[in-house]
Each structure stands twice: as structure tokens, then as C-alpha cells.
Amino acid sequence: MKKLYFLLPFVLFGCKSNTPTADDKTVKSESNPIEISYKVQESEVSDFLKYLSSDELEGRETGTKGIEKAAVFLEDFLKKNNVKPYFVSYRDTLTNFKPVAYNIVGVLEGSDPELKKEFVVLSAHYDHIGIEKKDQPDKINNGANDDASGVTAVAQMAKYFAETKSNKRSILFVFFAGEEKGLLGSKSLVQKLKKQNFNIYTQLNIEMIGVPMKRDYLSYVTGFDKSNMAQKINEYTGKNTIGFLPKEAEYKLFYRSDNYSFYDVFKKPCQSISTFDFENFDFYHHVSDEFKVMDIPHMTAFIQEFLPAVTKIATTPTEEIVMNK
């Protein structure tokens, strides 16, 4: 998550917020969700996250040999699961960063002749902050939670859709580079898509979901009031999947991840989903953000719970998630 370290001192001092309380933002689900027989495998979640956050990748800083290994890993995963490249190859070269760096972009075409012209974007950033310059025993910022966890979730969703072929809309799967450098990967990609008159319906960007919250909802969405995304996701899952986190509104997290680049250009519901709540994880941008502190059962359950939601988003006859006026 970009530049959150500037905010953490203020969080620790316990600044008061003028935003409504969580009780004012209760989101209820009132429909019957679709049944999903597909089961996310905990072992696959574990293996994927373990490699992506391993020392071998040296913290995945954009422009380094470590992130190049991550790019190859993600390309191989998409190819293995029959997710096609969106461009000529999976690699989308950033136009705003030197040396050469890439987003990894795959696509599954929708099955409906008309709805396939609309795109759902499922995304996460696969870069992190690399190696510490300080002389210390552990120098590698592995970025397991930030954001190898989100990448793992999006990858498992790609595998699900590739196997079930349950998407009527087309789905763009994006793994961004350069997020930690100032949302560079998403800023670069969105300009290319704009020139193509890219017809986006909505974007779900997954950011830091490696540990659970101790709340009565599974996760929160950034920019809660900007759209009805929270309400619709809960309707689709039939659970309290999304809640309102006052700290998110207070610190304007909507503007601090790759969803904002898409919203800024397309003015569509483009928001991030997270379980990092300022209380449940002490290792933000820290060398201890490692695989061993991730909660794999939680991550697996998170992905599983979102499958009805992303399926409905990819299949509803009309665009039900809309911006609030």
C-alpha cells in the first residue's frame, strides 16, 4: 500500500475522526446468493504466497532482478491456467518508469456476445519495497501481506474463472508494478486502456488480506460512500463480507492504491478490498512482513467467500454496482 507510512504516526497518536461510526454504516444482505461448488485449495494458496514472498525474490522492488522473477512466476501461472495475455504478451511495459518494468496483464473473454464487451478488473500490486539499506541481520522486505496476499487472491480468482468459465463479462486480471513508487503501474496502464475506449464496469483491487480483523465483518472497501459496492457484494455473498472501517475514511485510503488510477480516469466504481485495519498487523513496510505471519486459512476463506460476489459481478444482465450521486 502506497505511502501509508506517512500516516501511521498519526494513527498511533489516536487522532479523532469526524466520519460516521461503523454503526452508522451497517450493511445488510437480503438476497439468496448463488451456490459455488468450486473449492479454493489451502495448499495452493500457501504455495503461491510462500514463493511470491520468499527471500529469492528479494522484496520485489520495481526494476530489480527480484521482481523480474516474480513477473516470470505470474506469467507462468496465467499461462498454466489458460488465461490469455491481454496485450501481445503478458507484459505491459510501464511508460513512466526507468529501468524497464512491467505490469502483468491477462484476460478471460466473457461468454455472452454483448456482456463480453464490458470488463471487470480484478487486480493487486506485485511489487514491494525491496532490500533495506541499513546494516541489519534481515534486510529483505518480503511483502507477504503487502501485497503478495492480494496477488494470491487475484490469482486464485483467475484460476477459478478459467476452470468454471462462469464469466459472461470479460475479466482483466492485473498484477501492477510500481505501486510503491506512486501507483506508477496503474497510472501507466489506465492511459493505454483509455486510448482503447476500454469499457470498464468495475474494478476490485485486493490490498493486504493476509491476516483477519477482529470485527463482525470480513473486510472493508475503500471509498465506502462512493458507490454501492459494499451493499451489492454483501447481497451477492449473503454474508457480512464488507463493512465500514472509520479509519479507512479518516485516512483516505481510497486514494492510496491502484484503484484510484482507474477511478480517476473512468469515474466508475473502482475500489480496494482489504483486511488491514491498523490494529491487526504490526509489520507494514517492515522486514517481518513474511510468509510465516500470514494466516493461510483466513486467506483461503476470504477468497472462497468472494467467489459468489465476483461471479455475480461478472454475470448480472445489467451493471448493478454504480457510483453514488
Give the whole-angstrom CA distance, residue 10 versus residue 33: 40
C-alpha pair distances (Å), 139 with each of 51, 59, 65, 285, 291: 17, 9, 16, 12, 15
DSSP for 227-244, written as a single string: BSHHHHHHHHHTS--EE-
Give the whole-angstrom CA distance, residue 259 versus residue 271: 5
Domain positions in the chain: 4-313
- Asked if the 4-313 domain carries CATH number 2.60.120.560, the reply is no
Question: What is the reported pTM?
Answer: 0.93
List, in sequence order, every residue forming a beta bridge with 174; answer none if it has no partner: 105, 123
- Residues 143, 284 contacting (CB under 8 angstroms): no
102-108 and 84-85 as β-strands: parallel, antiparallel, unpaired?
Answer: antiparallel
* 258, 264, 268, 273 alpha-carbon torsion, rounded to 10°: 30
For residue 302, give the C-alpha cell. Answer: 476470504
pLDDT value at position 8? 43
For residue 93, give the C-alpha cell. Answer: 511495459
Give the whole-angstrom CA distance, residue 301 versus residue 299: 5
pLDDT less than 50: residues of the chain: 5-20, 22-24
List, in sequence order, every residue forming a beta bridge with 92; answer none if it has no partner: 103
Give the whole-angstrom CA distance, residue 3 versus residue 299: 24
pLDDT value at position 98? 95
The tally of CA atoms less than 13 A away on the side-chain side of residue 47 is 8
Cα R_g (the chain), whole angstroms? 18
Residue with cell 488491514: 276
pLDDT value at position 1? 65
